[in-house]
Structure 1
Amino acid sequence: MIQLLNTQKENLISAKISGKISKNDLEKMHPLIHNIINKGKKVDFYFEMEDFKGYTLKGFWEDIKIDSAHISDYGKMDFVGDKKWQEFVANVTDFFTSSEVKYFDSKDKELAKKWILK
């Protein structure tokens, strides 16, 4: 499930992610990406992963389609979590994109918020 969080930055999509991400979750995010791109800005992301279990199969496929269509439209990406595999996913994301990607442990959430808002 993706729960959108309030943000102070107009090109930032901020969300708390828990459970499994579905295709429906990602279909709700896609228009937000387009709204930012249409303003001529790069899209920044802040993701708090809390009890995150991964994706449904359709959700994973939808994420791949969206990312492949927009990967050059992404700016900074900030992942906050508490599992080693989540840090690994952030590092893999960093490898496949020209975006600036950082992973922060949950205890450093405030530092992560400051970094993404710069």
Structure 2
Amino acid sequence: MINRLGDLPAGVVGFEAGGRLSAEDYRDVVLPAVESAAEVGEVRFLIVMHDFQGMSGGALWQDLKIGFGHVRAWKRIALVTDIDWMHHMTGLFGWMTPGETKSFTLEDREAAVEWVLG
């Protein structure tokens, strides 16, 4: 499940996610927000992940399409989570995503917002 966050500064597209992610989550929630941000200029993306129970094959495909659909628009991606392996994966594979990536703990959410704006 993915829900859009409404309490972020202008210029930041943010979501809260948890459980098993589906293609519909990406298509109906994430994609419209990213496309709107890309039309204006830069995509500054914040994702707060509380728990993760996997993603469907369709969700993985939608994730890849979103990432590469507006490659030049991606500026920064902040992952906010207390899931250790996600921090490690961001460090190892962040170079493969468009834009800069950085992970933060749930406690450091405000620092993530400041970083993604910077």
TM (norm. structure 2) is: 0.86
Matching residue's letter, 1:37: A
Conserved 8 A contact 1:93-1:101: no
Instruction: Work out the CA distance in 2 between the residues paired with 1:107 and 1:58.
Output: 31
Q: Given the superposition, is the C-alpha separation of residues 92 and 62 from structure 1 closer, same or farther in structure 2, using an over 3 Å criterion?
A: farther
1:45-85 deviation per Cα after TM superposition (whole angstroms, max 9, x unaligned): 11111012231121111111221222322111100111221
User: 2:2 maps to which residue?
Assistant: 2
Instruction: Work out the CA distance in 1 between the residues paired with 2:15 and 2:25.
Output: 11
Are 1:110 and 2:110 matched, yes or no? yes
Number of matched residues? 116
Instruction: Work out the CA distance in 1 between the residues paired with 2:92 and 2:23.
Output: 21
Instruction: Work out the CA distance in 2 between the residues paired with 1:98 and 1:49.
Output: 20
Larger strand percent: 1
User: 1:50 maps to which residue?
Assistant: 50
Give 3-state SS (helix, strand or coil) of 2:77's partner: strand
1:25-45 deviation per Cα after TM superposition (whole angstroms, max 9, x unaligned): 100221222212222x11011
Residues 20-59 of structure 1: pairs in structure 2 closer than 5 A: 20-28=20-28, 29-39=30-40, 41-59=41-59
Aligned-residue offset at 1:105: 1.5
Matching residue's letter, 1:42: E
TM (norm. structure 1) is: 0.86
Deviates more, 1:65-74 or 1:47-56: 65-74
Instruction: Work out the CA distance in 2 between the residues paired with 1:66 and 1:117.
Output: 20
Residues 39-118 of structure 1: pairs in structure 2 closer than 5 A: 39=40, 41-118=41-118
Question: RMSD over aligned Cα, in angstroms?
Answer: 1.7
Which blocks of at least 5 consecutive residues in structure 2 are unaligned?
A: none
